[in-house]
Structure formats: C-alpha cells, structure tokens
Amino acid sequence: MLHFLIQLSYFLAAVLFIVGLKGMSTPVTARQGIIWAGVGMLVAVFITFFHPEIHGVTNFVLIIIAIAIGGGLAWKTAQTVQMTEMPQMVALYNGMGGGSAGAIAAVYLLAAQRNLLDTGQNAIYQYMGADVAFLAVLGGLIGSVAFSGSLVAWAKLDGRMKRNSLVPQQQLVNIILFAAMVMAGIWVFMSGGVFPIFVFFALALLFGVFMAVPIGGADMPVVISLFNALTGLAVGFKGYVLGNPALIIAGTVVGAAGMLLTHLMAKAMNRPIHNVLFSGFGTTGDSGGEGPEGEMKEVGAEDAGYMLAYAESVVIVPGYGMAVAQAQHKIWELVQLLQERGVDVKFAIHPVAGRMPGHMNVLLAEAGVPYDLIFDMEEINEDFKTTDVAVVIGANDVVNPAAKNDESSPIYGMPILNVDEAENVLVIKRGRGTGFSGVENNLFFEENTRMVFGDGAKVANKMVAAVKEL
C-alpha cells in the first residue's frame, strides 16, 4: 500500500509539473504556473521521506540539511537578484539541475562497481542491466556537460569570462575531447573499475567547459535554452535508473520543451544549431562588412517626447539596455501619458531580445504593462510601415537592417523587427558602441533615425516631463 501511495504521489507531482509548465507558456498564467510547479515539487519532496530506501537517521538529517541550504540560498537570491542578472541566475540554477543528474549517475555507477566484487561479474552493464547502465552513463554524460557548460554561460553573461578559446584550434580540440568522452563512456559501460568512471566524468565536465567557451555572447539565449533541454533529458534518464515516474515525466517534458524552444530561438536567428555551437558568432571582432555610411543624427530627450506626443501610432522595442537602465517603469509611465492623448502605443518583442528567452516579457510584466499591448515579431512586423514613431530602447542587433540588406554582415539572414520601415525612429542608447554581437548597427545611420543618447531611465524621465508640459 505504501509503495502504491508513493508512486501515486510521484505521478501527481509530475502532473503538477506539466500543469505548471503549461501555465508558464504565456505571461497571463505564468505566475499560477510557477505556483503549481512549486506545489508539485513539495509533493515530491515530502513523499520521498516515506520511501523505503530512505532509512536511518543520518539520511533524514542529510536530506533536511540539503533542503535547508538549497532552499535558503534560493530564497535569498530570488529576493535580491536584479532583472539584469536574471539570465545568469537561470543559467546557474539550470547547471545545478544538470549537476544533480550527473551526481546521481556517479553514485549509482560507483555503487554498481562495488557490488561487482560480490557477484563475480566483470562489467557494470551485466550487473545493472544493459538498458539501465546505458541510461546511467548517458544521463551522467549529459548532466555533467550541462553542469559545466552552464557555469561557463553564467560566467560569460556575468562578465566574468570574455575568452572565446582556451587552446589553439579550439573546435578541433573539442571534437577530439568529445570522442574521448564517448570512448570513456563505453569503457565504463563495459568495465567495472573506479578509474574509468573517474576519467569519464572528468572528460564530461571538461567537454562542457570547452563546448561553451567558443560560443559568442549573441548566442547565449539559444545556449541557455539548449543546456536547459540537456538538463531535462538527464533528469528523465535518471528517473528511469531510479524507477521514479515523476523524474521520468518531468525530465522528458522539460527536455522536449527545451529542445523546442532551442529550435525556435535558432529559427528566430535564422541559424541552425550546429552554426550556433561552432561558429562563435558574437565574439570580439565579429563586425564584418565595411560599416554603414553617413552620420548619427542626435536629438534631445525633450524633443523626442514632443515627437511622441504628436504622433498617432508608436511602437516601442525594448532590449537589454532597458534592463540595465531599469527604465521599464518610466517607459510604462510614458506610454500611459501618450494613451491619454489618444496615441496608439504597442510593444514589439523579438524572440532573442535580452540575454535569455522571454527576458523582455518579464521586464514589461514587472512594470505592469498589459499583455494585450505586447506583440511578437511575426504579429507586428507589418505594422511598422504605418507607424509614425518607432522607439528603440536598449535593443541593437534585433533591429539592425544589415540583417536584410548586407550580405557581408555576420547577422545577414536573421529575422529582425522592421523598425527602419517606420516614418520616424528614435533610438535611446547610452553610447555609440556596437551591440552584444559586436556588429555595427546600420539603423543608427538611417535618414529617418534620431539618436537620443543617455541613460534609459533618465531619458524616459525627461520625455515624460516633456509630454506632461503639453
């Protein structure tokens, strides 16, 4: 009876995970989705205390200590993390999930190795069964790669790592390292020693680092999504090894959703996954081409506010710079003033704007922007032709016309928001530098573009004051 209740509880937890993930598919129900997923995790953790394999005071104490440490750190960081640091936190926590899956695989493989001495068998797969041993090794490989790779992604997003290679011929070394890792995995599967297990996990962790280092900063949203998918797959494989249906279902769902999101993100950049992983797009010196012609034309924040006040239609395109300036609240105040004057205002979101999937949606939701004012690229791109003023605040690569008309540009072919087609364009930008990819933005030099230089929040505040004066 106890076994049935435990399995039923794990199944219920898995259902709650799915309901939560479904809720997080749209900003309208995202908060409820997070709550449902949290309830599912509570159910899974609580019922684990009654699992027959969890026995002895020491095990219970260790579990409670782990929950206290992990829960305390998560609570503290969630309370203090800035919106600009959210991508780093997502990458870091995602890496912890992969690391957990890798650690479980290591424990089970080491336990199987010890038990081989008592059974007289020579290979781990003979003791564990070929299917379980295969998934244990594969889950350990994927989880370890996701762990170390996510740590590199965190370091790059946080500005702690700027290198794009560790050794000469980095990609060739990566191929050799990958082959060595696979061979070590086969060695573990076919043998029963501790040394092969140690070599295997060392190579897997090292490959995760070498895999992530060459990837350019502009590809980080795709990479975060990919490592998230890998973590889900690793968790699903561990669920099979442990005989835990909650882990199987939740891991499979997260893995599938992560793979789909990775595909959509890569599609939004018009680049195949292998190009993301091996091209190093977004690295230093990646500008390409001869650069745009003409000069940037500057306008003051007050004049920009007047232009918006007398417009009939306005589309605002946010980017990572808005997050850095924490300007989303002032922008929303500006939008409300414009709406009171009868201006039709919308927000346009590019799929890879920011440093992670959905970054801009989170920022706008935090400021209280209604969801019906926020439009995806496919929904709003045609509207730019009839837009009086397009306002770009903190966005760069996702509005660069070079993606459409400069075949020498590294971002050529990437779908962008057609901001350049608006009658007037206002670009709010701190300085004259290039975007995260290092590519010069041709939009800044267009005849219909005016640059508003300065901190995003301060510029938005001056625009608000200008509109209020009218």
The catalytic site residues sit at 397
Burial (0-12, 13-18, 19+ Cβ within 10 Å), 200: buried
Residue 291, φ and ψ in degrees, nearest 5: 90, 155
Whether the CB-CB separation of 374 and 304 falls below 8 Å is answered with no
Q: CA angle, 53 as apex, 2 and 135 as ends, to 5°?
A: 110
Q: Calculate the CA dihedral of residues 18, 20, 25, 31 and round it to 10 degrees.
A: 180
The whole-angstrom separation of Cα 249 and Cα 231 is: 13
CA–CA separation, 250 vs 247, rounded Å? 5
Handedness of CA 79, 83, 88, 92 (dihedral sign): positive
Question: In this structure, is the dihedral angle defined by the CA atoms of residues 123, 127, 131 and 137, taken in order, positive or negative?
Answer: negative
Interhelix angle 86-119/359-367, rounded to 10 degrees, is: 130
Mapped onto helix, strand or coil, the DSSP state of residue 315 is strand
